[in-house]
Amino acid sequence: MSSSCIKLAIAVFGKGVRRRLPPMLKGDKRRIKLTYSLLFSLPGTPLLRYGEEIGMGEDLSLEGRNSVRTVMQWSDATNGGFSTASSDVLTRPVIKEGEYGYKRVNVAEQQRDPNSLINWMEHIIRIRKQCPEFGSGKWQILETDQPCVFAHCCEWEGSSAIALHNLGDRSCTVTLKFDEYNHLIDIFGDSQYEPLDINLPSIPIEAYGYRWFRVK
């Protein structure tokens, strides 16, 4: 979330940011990853709140922005592995129960799972570092034949990268209405897609899918 969005939330609601992304998207990993893919491919510097790399939730019983300042969930040990002190002396409580409790959502468990959010997050960060076009480049929105697909291109020092994001709940095949971007090489995506045929302009993309390309 950008600093401007944070300031807007404070100005409008007077309480700061009270929600985390996973609960707002009902824990749907497809839409969670889609949103972070947008964040990392759009201009500017991505900003993550601690705990977002594992999909932590919030405690809305706490006032104001304290709802998203609960104890970091490192493991399934007492207090989420954050402290061995008694839970009643912690400055902020730990989320114990429910879908986002530390027994179910924690760093240690996700590090053992190759398909976890934290490993996906580490991967997208590595790819983002290899793509200075995103964030630093001059960007433009690309027109497509699918209204549910948001496409944009970033150009930086003679190199170009394109990102497609399917905001719809159905898979589709999309065509970019720009002939100069007809030779694309996959660099990141929501699944393992077949390499594109340079003679065919259509690009398949799954529901809530995302694909990053480098333009050759």
What pLDDT digit, counting tens, does each position of 92-139 carry? Answer: 899 999 999 999 999 999 999 999 999 999 999 999 999 999 989 999
Signed CA dihedral, 103, 19, 117, 202: sign only? positive
136-215 to CATH, choices 3.40.50.11540, 1.10.10.10, 2.60.40.1180, 3.30.1380.10 = 2.60.40.1180
Q: Which two tokens stand for residue 174?
A: 């999309």
- Higher-pLDDT residue of 107 and 182 is 107
If 0-12 CB within 10 Å is exposed, 13-18 middle and 19+ buried, where does residue 30 land? middle
**Rounded-to-integer distance, Cα 54 and Cα 196, Å:** 32
Q: Is the pLDDT of residue 16 over 90?
A: no
Q: What is the reported pTM?
A: 0.87
Q: Rounded to an integer, what distance in angstroms lies between the CA atom of residue 185 and that of residue 177?
A: 17
- What span, in angstroms and rounded, lies between the C-alpha atoms of 55 and 29? 9
Give the span between the Cα atoms of 144 and 150, in whole angstroms. 8
pLDDT of residue 10: 45
Give the start-to-end residue ranges of the domains of the chain. Answer: 22-129, 136-215
